[in-house]
Amino acid sequence: MRLPEPLLALRNRVLSKPEFQRWASIFPLTRPRAQRRARELFDIVAGFVYSQILQACVQVRLFEILAEGTQSVDELAPRLGLPVEGARRLLRAAASLELAEARGGDRYALGELGAAMVGNPGIAAMVEHHAMAYADLKDPVALLRGELPQRALQGYWAYVGTEAPAAAGEQAVSGYSELMAQSQRLIADDVLDAYSLQGHRCLLDVAGGDGTFLVTAAKRWPHLRVILFDLPAVAERARARFQREGLGDRATAIGGDVRRDPLPEGADVVSLVRVLHDHDDHDAPNFARAACQTLPEGGRLLVAEPMSGTPGAEPIGDAYFGFYLLAMGSGRPRTPAELTEMLLGVGFDRVRQIRTIRPMLTQLLVAQRA
Ligand SMILES: CC(C)=CCC/C(C)=C/CC/C(C)=C/C=C/C(C)=C/C=C/C=C(C)/C=C/C=C(C)/C=C/C=C(C)/C=C/CC(C)(C)O
Ligand SMILES: C[S@@+](CC[C@H](N)C(=O)[O-])C[C@H]1O[C@@H](n2cnc3c(N)ncnc32)[C@H](O)[C@@H]1O
């Protein structure tokens, strides 16, 4: 609920007084909330330190090693490549974050969150590539002022800031394509659970990366034909992937630039998965318009990506992706309402939002062509 202006000003005046903060931390009725808010502020202050502890766990392969079972610090230290004291400090920190679990007697097991990391290798890949994002975020004000022309992330995402992304070679696309393939496993089933492709014949995945999303869709729906469109070097990777998966003539991969080349025809459903948020406001509609133009009347477009303002996950859209994309040099997270307006503006007729099981990672809009 939004407070009226005068009440808001009063609340903020009161909350900013150290005497009130102290009183609220003691008074039994306000104490739990005061402590929770202090802890929340502390977590924001300490976020980078927590992230670096996770980075260290991933680099020394702590979670894979603990997945073998409970071990003592003395046993773990040489396996982690750390001195005993360093290993103990890391394990205590990891246990406090529930990445590991202290078992007594200087022994440690996998924690609940560490176990989740083992099950999702895509998260570890994200953590490792964050080294670039954090280097770019070192001076966030300079970034906001547009004063950092050389950024690691911009070099990593080879299609950003160039008029000719289709010229990118295999080397330039391999890093981000692998990262996207790994993390796509956190996304594809959530989208395919939310929207059934039973009634569709052919799915075109625009900017579909190495084809992980289409392979998942094709395995789930054996009647479905799938077409991938991406930059030539990425489409080449997808072609090889489709062959390895034995999809035969059910799957095609076509290389090109969405802004210059026509999309392949024949699909009755198109997907844009983690694509629109990569592009600035003047450019993102080009992707949606191209999808609309290739669809027949009544065809559907699926837009799946993390969105701004997701209830319960607000900082993931506007803080994490907002600043990640700023460092990358292109795009922004958008609310479902902003995306809906964009889709209606390029010729779609009806747009509805469908619930996904983990909206923090991806939300889903389905648009129908008039
Ligand atoms: C015991 C049981 C059954 C339940 C107990 C309750 C419970 C839930 C306990 C916790 C244990 C548990 C099972 C946890 C499960 C956790 C899971 C599944 C966690 C998943 C986490 C996913 C994360 C942290 C994903 C992170 C993704 C990131 C950081 C993505 C970044 C994406 C980027 C940078 C994309 C860039 C692409 C671009 C350029 C923007 O387009
Ligand atoms: C963030 S990735 C998402 C990949 C995939 N959809 C996924 O979710 O894993 C964005 C993709 O857009 C592709 N891309 C960027 N600009 C493009 C353009 N102008 N034409 C075609 N593909 C493009 C990139 O090569 C990359 O594979």
- Per CATH, the number for 188-369 is 3.40.50.150
> Tokens 């409970």 sit at which residue?
70
Q: Distance, CA 363 to ligand 2 centroid (Å)?
A: 18
pLDDT digits (tens, 9 = 90+) for 269-316: 999 999 999 999 999 999 999 999 999 999 999 999 999 999 999 999
Which residue ranges of the chain lie beneath pLDDT 70? none
Q: Which ligand is nearest to the CA of 229?
A: 2
What pLDDT does 292 receive? 98
| 3-state SS, residue 38 | helix
Can you give the pLDDT at residue 370? 85
Which tens digit of pLDDT belongs to each residue from 325-362? 999 999 999 999 999 999 999 999 999 999 999 999 99
The widest CA-to-CA distance across the chain, in whole angstroms, is 72
Separation of alpha carbons 165 and 155, rounded Å: 12
Q: Does ligand 1 come within 6 angstroms of the Cβ of 120?
A: yes
Q: How far is the CA of 57 from the centre of ligand 2 (A)?
A: 30
pLDDT of the residue at 148? 83
Residue 150: per-residue pLDDT: 85
Separation between Cα atoms, residue 183 and residue 166, nearest integer Å: 23
CATH class, 20-118 region: mainly alpha
Q: Determine which residue's CA is closest to atom 29 belonging to ligand 1.
A: 126
Taking the CA of residue 209 as reference, the ligand 2 atom at the shortest distance is 27
Q: What 8-state DSSP symbol labels residue 357?
A: S
Per-residue confidence (pLDDT) for residue 141, from 0 to 100: 96
Q: What is the pLDDT of residues 138-156, one digit of tens each?
A: 999 999 999 987 899 999 9
Contact call for residues 275 and 206 (beta carbons, < 8 A): yes
- Which residues, other chains included, contact 333 with Cβ-Cβ below 8 Å and sequence gap of 6+? 277, 305, 306, 307, 308, 317, 318, 321, 322, 325
Task: Please give the pLDDT value at position 291.
Answer: 98
What's this model's pTM, rounded to 2 decimal places? 0.93
274 lines ligand 1 (CB under 6 A): yes
Output the pLDDT for position 1. 78
Q: How far is the CA of 361 from the centre of ligand 1 (A)?
A: 8
Residue 282: predicted pLDDT? 97
Going from N- to C-terminal start, the domains of the chain cover: 20-118, 188-369
Predicted local confidence at residue 225, as pLDDT: 98
> In this predicted complex, what is the ipTM?
0.89
DSSP state of 66: H
Q: Give the pLDDT score at 326.
A: 96
Query: Which amino acid would we find at residue 233?
Result: A
